Amino acid sequence: MPLSLEDKKAQVAEVAEVAASAHSVVAAEYTGLTSVEMAELRAKARAGGVVMRVVKNTLAKRAFEGTDYECMADILVGPLLLAFSQEDPGSAARVVKDFAKDHQKLVTKAVSISGQLLPGSELDRLASMPTKDQAISMLMSVMQAPVTKLVQTLNEVPGKLVRTVAAVRDQKQSAA
């Protein structure tokens, strides 16, 4: 059943809203996946903080107008699913990559992050980006390293004094 004009406008508005708040978008061909496999993919996406949409390409092009993902207009050809990362830039890429390991019919066509269009082969690079929590912990460990080294250095002075006094004591005891 064809969509009415109002339904099309609603879909465009919904995709535009999701795209405006997304960190990145992954476009993948899903031809050959069963409805059960698609439901499994959608469940994994929801669990990973990813919004998935299957929308007509002309509607997606209109929804992307005025967003960072306008660059994807040329690759929107054929049946595609769009995965929008809402939590961190790599979440959609991780979901698609993990699902594609077991389902070869899911083929990444393109990736877009910060207005830059990348080929589907860059999916691994985006998927390997740390999550927000991982990035914060990495930053904190880098910030903590100089302080830890300073404390270790300051602690070494009295420790060395104690070892020297103990060595002198042991030397005097063995001489006596």
Domain 5-129 has CATH 2.160.10.10: no
DSSP codes, 40-104: HHHHHHHHTTEEEE---HHHHHHHHTTSGGGGGGGG--SSEEEEEESSSTTHHHHHHHHHHHH-T
Distance between CA atoms of 154 and 25, rounded to whole angstroms? 50
User: Tens digit of pLDDT per residue, the chain (176 long)?
Assistant: 677 888 888 888 898 888 888 888 999 999 888 899 999 999 999 988 899 999 898 898 888 888 888 888 888 888 899 999 888 888 888 999 999 888 888 888 989 888 788 888 888 888 877 777 878 888 888 888 888 888 888 888 888 888 888 888 988 888 87
Write down the pLDDT at residue 1. Answer: 60
Flag whether the pTM goes above 0.85: no
Q: Between the CA of residue 33 and those of 30, 39, 46, 80, 173, what are the distances in Å? A: 6, 10, 18, 12, 82
Domain spans of the chain?
Answer: 5-129, 130-176
